[in-house]
Amino acid sequence: MNLVIRNISQFFCVLVVLAVSVLPALSAGSDDLRITPVVRAVQNTSAAVVNITVTRIVERGVSPFAQLFRGGDPFDQFFDGGSGMQKRKFRSTSTGSGVIINGSKGLVLTNAHVLAGGSEIKVRMINGEDFEAEIIGSDADFDLAVLKIKGARGLPQVKMGDSSDIYIGETVIAIGNPFGYTHTVTTGVVSALKRTVKSNDGSFTDFIQTDAAINPGNSGGPLLNIMGELIGINTAMQARAEGIGFAIPINRAKRVVRELLASGKVSPVWLGLSGQDLDQSSANYFGLPRVSGLLVSDIYRGMPAEKAGLAPGDVILSMNGIEIEDKDGYVSILRSQTRGSDVVLEVLHRNKKIKIKVRPESLQPQQVKNFTWSKWGIAVEKDSRGRAMLVSDVKPNSPAAKLGLKPGDKIHQIGNRQINSQQDFLDSFLRYRLNGNVLMKIQRGRNYYHVKLNS
């Protein structure tokens, strides 16, 4: 009996010794298990994600009764922006996110809308360091911009990925500064690819859709794959739905960055054709199941469309796999392309559906001026006395002449775009060149008119 008790006692002593020696190893192993690929990706990338604060100077009308009330002037809404009322300048700030793509040069990639109208830009690192930054280049059509951090060298940078082989359903990670909560991490999956998002400025195409939470302040931050590689720039969310966010594919962003670094802007491209919407009768004639596509009406000599074999009477059905609904859709999709990259068109050519590869060409300002003169019949110059473009010449028998435009008229707006510079005017032509009716806001003397240019 004593022998049995002695053996049992020895057995428990052995168990205690084993437990003491094994538990630390198990504890260390549990830590290793907790460091998932998501954790590792965040650890390797967070230092390259920055918080961007943009200060803007805004001017608005002030009620003359403002000092009579504490806690808010009930009459202020009636005077805000009113003509002839007292104006006051205010400092307004907003925040967004960005990611360092070149640590040695201090280059940050973010959204163009994050920086729009900013007079002062500051970048905060994860360690709390603040730096001033300047805009190297920005393009609203792509909603991308590149910043340079002043006085910063040897910074951490993100590892570039490839958005051409993204899988629907793969895990993705978003890092940003939503609502001012710095370096917030959210995860999800790729919900869809090649999404189109419509806004007041037109349609933006070829987005990555994800259910990773992307809230205000996340704009400009990175979308990462499980390897910690940058595959997208978070740019928008569907305000009326939960779990729907969008990111710009990094392969497109790379092309935009190259142009922004080279010239500060992205040269607009075109294929060298004009077209029109289809109606039900023309859709029936071509045997199309629905009214969609762009009917090619003109091909410009020596341009990419002619070189690729396109001809008047062809119907362009899709571009890079994205269906073309109408001419506005065609222009919107083309706006998201850059020079040096091919587009694949699905075309109804001589009653057969074929695919044609075309490389868009950039348009130089003088070329756009020539096309504006030949199609609209307008030449403009900067109005030295205000923010508008001055009509300097009108072509006889042109759409502008038939409308009644005259030298000396001022163009303040084309479509929904304000015209403050020669570039604004040229960009508006590229955006609305296929429209049969173009809405313009014209000033003649002290009077303002909204007119339609029938082109």
Q: Write the pLDDT tens digit of every residue in 331-356.
A: 888 888 888 788 999 999 998 999 99
pLDDT top residue among 29 and 420 = 420
Give all domains of the chain, ordered by start, each with its CATH number.
45-63+78-149 (2.40.10.10), 159-263 (2.40.10.10), 269-362 (2.30.42.10), 365-454 (2.30.42.10)
User: Do residues 202 and 332 make contact, with C-beta atoms less than 8 angstroms apart?
Assistant: yes
pLDDT of residue 156: 96
Residue of 97, 113, 314, 398 with catalytic role: 113
* Predicted pLDDT of residue 62: 56
> How many CB atoms are closer than 10 A to CB 351?
7
State yes or no: pLDDT of 11 exceeds 70: no
More confident residue, 243 or 309: 309
Taking residue 14's Cβ as centre, other Cβ atoms within 10 Å add up to 10
pTM: 0.76
Pairing verdict, β 144-149 and 159-160: unpaired
Does the pLDDT at position 440 exceed 90? yes
Phi-psi region of 328 (alpha: psi -120 to 50; beta: other; left: phi over 0): alpha
> Known catalytic residue: 143?
yes
**Catalytic choice (63, 94, 141, 143):** 143
Residue 304 CB neighbour total at 10 angstroms: 20
Instruction: Decide which of 24 and 384 is more confident.
Output: 384
**424 classed as catalytic:** no
Q: State both tokens at 420.
A: 């403050």
Residue 39 has pLDDT above 90, yes or no: yes
pLDDT tens readout for residues 255-294? 999 999 988 888 888 899 989 999 999 999 999 999 999 9
Catalytic residue among 94, 138, 191, 219: 219
Residue-wise pLDDT for 70-123, tens only, equals 555 555 555 554 545 566 777 788 889 999 999 999 999 999 999 988 889 999
Residue 21 annotated in active site: no
pLDDT digits over 157-212, tens only?
999 999 999 999 999 999 998 887 888 999 999 999 988 777 666 667 789 999 99
Rounded-to-integer distance, Cα 91 and Cα 117, Å: 12
Tokens 């029938």 sit on residue: 454
Percent of the chain at pLDDT exceeding 90? 54
Q: Which two tokens stand for residue 43?
A: 């650890």
- Strand 229-237 vs strand 159-160: parallel, antiparallel, or unpaired? parallel
